[in-house]
């Protein structure tokens, strides 16, 4: 292209330096004449046809080369946008859709509990424990799954930000709103079940599981977290096997879901079972409100997934971005 511009520059220079046909250059040594002796100068003749042919030929070549270069750049740009679109689908939209289906649907549709008990969790760490004492105490702990971190951690961070800012702003904004509402709902459920567990622990006057070691023999205890989750499941219409009051000389136990939920005297176990029934009744209003919130999230989830599926099926990428540029 530089050679073509050089040819054009040479042609223009040639036109500027060549005198017109029929016009003679003035001799610098020629003496000046009086004004009376001057005669009208002859009109310059037209440029020869070959000049215009040359200019047309050079301009045509330049236009062809520049047009071809621009066309090629546009084609490359379009191919890169298609590749970028496919990359966004494979590394952002599809794994996001599948992650929501896998991790959120069972929770949103009340197929899995929002609050559960994890066993063997570290409940206390004593950095100044004696040599004969254990540093770590383990027991039950309440857990609310927050699958948003699991879903979003599998996505490409750069492409996710690009999709959120440029190409799929509306869809990802709805995903963000849904996950924030879900986190708030799960946190409220966790706080509610935790409050129930504290009531069980306080009103039964039984030590929390596991009881501290005080020598050989049976020691009364209550798994207040597991019994609180039992009440939650019953109120949320999830399957919770019946509790069984059994004698285990010299103590009595309350068992359920394959574990011993409490151990103590007959009077202690009777009071515990009666308390669980009272809490199940008194917490119905709170459970109804939380179930209504869950119903709204379910409807929002059902409206969200088709929008992601439409974005995945789309063949055109909306808006431009800094990751794919024309020039």
pLDDT at position 131, please? 78
pLDDT at position 323, please? 75
Q: Single out the residue of 78, 58, 63, 60 nearest to residue 10, CA to CA.
A: 58
Residues forming beta bridges with residue 321, ordered by sequence position: 324
User: What pTM does this model have?
Assistant: 0.74
pLDDT at position 21, please? 47
Please check whether residue 144 is in contact with residue 189, taking contact to mean a CB–CB distance below 8 angstroms: yes
**Long-range pairs for 147-154 at CB < 8 Å and ≥24 separation?**
147/99, 147/103, 147/104, 147/107, 148/179, 148/182, 148/183, 150/99, 150/103, 151/95, 151/96, 151/99, 151/100, 151/103, 151/104, 152/96, 152/99, 154/95, 154/99
- Gap between the Cα atoms of 79 and 81, Å rounded: 5
Query: How many residues make up the chain in this entry?
Result: 327
Q: Two tokens at 48?
A: 């020869």
Tens digit of pLDDT at every position of the chain (327 positions): 444 444 444 444 544 444 544 444 444 444 444 444 445 555 455 667 776 676 777 777 777 777 776 777 677 667 788 888 999 999 999 999 999 999 999 999 999 999 999 886 666 667 777 777 777 777 788 999 889 999 999 999 999 999 999 999 999 999 999 999 999 999 999 999 999 999 999 999 899 987 766 556 678 999 999 999 999 999 999 999 999 999 988 899 999 888 899 999 999 999 999 999 999 999 999 999 999 999 999 999 999 999 999 999 988 888 888 777 766
Cβ partners under 8 Å of residue 230, min gap 6: 240, 243, 256, 257, 261, 276
pLDDT at position 15, please? 44
Cβ partners under 8 Å of residue 317, min gap 6: 81, 82, 84, 85, 88, 167
- Gap between the Cα atoms of 76 and 182, Å rounded: 43
The secondary element (H helix, E strand) that includes residue 264 is strand 259-264
Please check whether residue 223 is in contact with residue 119, taking contact to mean a CB–CB distance below 8 angstroms: no
pLDDT at position 14, please? 46
pLDDT at position 40, please? 54
Three-state SS string across 271-317, please? HHHHHHHHHHHHCHHHHHHHHHHHHHHHHHHHHHHHHHHHHHHCCCC
pLDDT at position 129, please? 75
Q: Single out the residue of 184, 267, 272, 280 nearest to residue 229, CA to CA.
A: 280
pLDDT at position 76, please? 67
What are phi and psi for residue 264, nearest 5 degrees?
175, -160
Q: Two tokens at 206?
A: 């039984």
Residues forming beta bridges with residue 169, ordered by sequence position: none
- Gap between the Cα atoms of 89 and 95, Å rounded: 8
């Amino acid at each position: 292209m530089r050679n073509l511009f050089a040819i054009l520059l040479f042609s223009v220079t040639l036109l500027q330096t060549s005198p017109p046909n029929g016009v003679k250059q003035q001799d610098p040594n020629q003496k000046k004449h009086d004004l009376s002796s001057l005669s009208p100068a002859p009109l310059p003749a037209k440029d020869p046809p070959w000049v215009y042919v040359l200019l047309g030929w050079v301009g045509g070549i330049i236009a062809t080369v520049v047009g071809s270069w621009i066309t090629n750049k546009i084609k490359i740009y379009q191919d890169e946008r298609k590749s970028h679109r496919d990359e966004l689908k494979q590394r952002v939209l599809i794994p996001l859709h599948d992650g929501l289906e896998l991790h959120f649907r069972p929770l949103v549709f009340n197929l899995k509990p929002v609050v559960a008990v994890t066993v063997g969790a570290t409940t206390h760490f004593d950095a100044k424990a004696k040599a004969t004492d254990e540093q770590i105490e383990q027991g039950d702990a309440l857990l609310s799954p927050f699958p948003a971190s699991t879903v979003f951690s599998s996505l490409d961070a750069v492409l996710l930000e690009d999709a959120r800012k440029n190409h799929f702003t509306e869809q990802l904004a709805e995903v963000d709103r849904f996950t924030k509402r879900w986190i708030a709902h799960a946190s409220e459920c966790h706080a509610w079940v935790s409050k129930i567990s504290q009531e069980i622990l306080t009103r039964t006057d039984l030590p929390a599981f596991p009881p501290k070691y005080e020598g050989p023999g049976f020691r009364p205890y209550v798994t207040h977290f597991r019994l609180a989750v039992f009440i939650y499941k019953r109120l949320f219409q999830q399957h919770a096997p019946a509790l069984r009051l059994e004698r285990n000389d010299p103590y009595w136990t309350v068992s359920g879901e394959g574990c011993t939920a409490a151990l103590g005297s007959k009077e202690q176990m009777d009071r515990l079972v009666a308390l669980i029934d009272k809490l199940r009744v008194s917490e119905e209003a709170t459970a109804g409100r939380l179930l209504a919130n869950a119903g709204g999230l379910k409807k929002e989830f059902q409206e969200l997934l088709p929008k992601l599926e439409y974005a995945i099926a789309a063949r055109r990428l909306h808006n431009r971005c800094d990751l794919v540029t024309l020039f």
